[in-house]
Amino acid sequence: MKSPKSPYPPNDQVTPAETAVLLDLAAACLHLPGDWVELGCYKGDTSVLLGRLLQQHHPISPAPTNSTHSATTSTPAASAPAPHLWIYDSFAGLPEKSPQDLSGAGQHFQAGALTVTKHEVTTKLRRAGLKNTIVKKAWFSDLTPADLPDQIAFAFLDGDLYDSIKTSLRLVAPRLVPGARLVVHDYNNPELPGAARAVDEFLRTHPRTLTVRHSLAIMV
Ligand SMILES: C[S@@+](CC[C@H](N)C(=O)[O-])C[C@H]1O[C@@H](n2cnc3c(N)ncnc32)[C@H](O)[C@@H]1O
């Protein structure tokens, strides 16, 4: 039997069911103060959907004037800025795995896999009409707190590997506002066991409720 058509553009990393959950969670954060972040954007398919949702509710936003970021934004305004979606990726694909990532499955997730150019992603965001995104090319381990928004209302961590998720959690957690949704992909993915290991370790030192839907670990 043919599966029902997905309402979302094709995405080879996140399933339509996961996308629906992600967008619901993000929508629940629209009233919160703070920006949204996605660590690990790959081709920017989920970024477009998140950016659209945010822009529909918070149209025309000024860009933080930090020259190290490339922003698809309009000019600064005098009033408080509307929230932005901050997107991070190496744009050089995955880094090396660590021992926590090793499993019988997932051999194709090798260093350098999932490489796209930053230009490819910024072009996609621009064509989608987004003026509220900030794209940062960096290894997560090279990011400092200054590279992240001061307040985060919604975070999607999709770096696949143990170190990538662990580093993302370390960067993002201190900036989450009360009620923020923190979502980590691949929690239930036997090909990428490091993601769940990083989440479980994080929860030992940062106790909070964990809900798992599909392969999404959701923490509020
Ligand atoms: C599964 S893809 C992201 C998919 C995307 N979130 C989506 O919904 O379509 C993982 C991305 O994380 C990036 N990545 C993984 N570990 C990273 C790290 N340590 N630093 C920077 N980028 C990393 C990879 O380059 C890759 O583009």
Distance of CA 166 to the CA centre of its chain: 14
Residue 77 CA to ligand 1 center (angstroms) comes to 32
Report the CATH number that the domain containing residue 77 is assigned in CATH. 3.40.50.150
Give the pairing of strands 210-213 and 216-219.
antiparallel
Q: Give CA–CA dist 139/106, Å, rounded.
A: 21
Distance of CA 66 to the CA centre of its chain: 20
Distance CA 96, CA 184 (A): 19
Q: What is the share, in percent, of the chain residues with pLDDT greater than 90?
A: 82
77 pLDDT band (50/70/90 cuts)? very low
What pLDDT sits at residue 108? 86
Residue 215 placed within a domain: no
Is residue 41 in contact with ligand 1, taking CB distance under 6 Å?
A: yes
What is the amino acid identity at position 105? A
- Is there an atom of ligand 1 within 6 Å of 14 CB? yes
204 in any annotated domain: no
Q: Does the residue 9 lie in any domain?
A: no
Separation CA 43–CA 68 (nearest Å): 21
In a domain, 98, yes or no: yes
Q: Which domain holds residue 91?
A: 27-187
Question: Is 171 a pocket residue for ligand 1 (Cβ < 6 Å)?
Answer: no
For the chain, what is the domain count?
Answer: 1
Looking from the CA of residue 141, the nearest atom of ligand 1 is: 19
How many whole angstroms separate alpha carbon 127 and alpha carbon 130? 8
119 or 74, which is more confident: 119
Q: Does ligand 1 lie within 6 Å of residue 46's CB atom? A: yes
For residue 2, pLDDT beyond 70: no
Residue type, 103: S
Question: What per-residue string of b and e applies to 87-108 under the rule 16 or more CB within 10 Å gives b?
Answer: bbbbbbebbebeebbeeeebee
DSSP the chain: -PPPPPSS---SSS-HHHHHHHHHHHHTTTTSSSEEEEE--TTSHHHHHHHHHHHHHS-S-BPP--TTSEEE-B---SSPPPP-EEEEE-SS------GGG--SS-TT--TTTT---HHHHHHHHHHTT--SEEEEES-GGG--GGGS-SSEEEEEE---SHHHHHHHHHHHGGGEEEEEEEEETTTT-TT-HHHHHHHHHHHHHS---EEEETTEEEE-
Residue 210 in domain: no
Distance 161 CA to ligand 1 centre (A): 9
Q: How far is the CA of 129 from the centre of ligand 1 (A)?
A: 23
In this structure, the residue with its CA closest to atom 16 of ligand 1 is: 159
Q: Calculate mean pLDDT across residues 123-136.
A: 97
Residue 2 lies in a domain: no
Ligand 1 closest atom vs CA 40: 12
Residue at 207 is within a domain:
no
Residues 138-171 pLDDT 10s:
999 999 999 999 999 999 999 999 999 999 999 9
161 lines ligand 1 (CB under 6 A): yes
- Quote the pLDDT of residue 137: 98
- Domain contains 107: yes
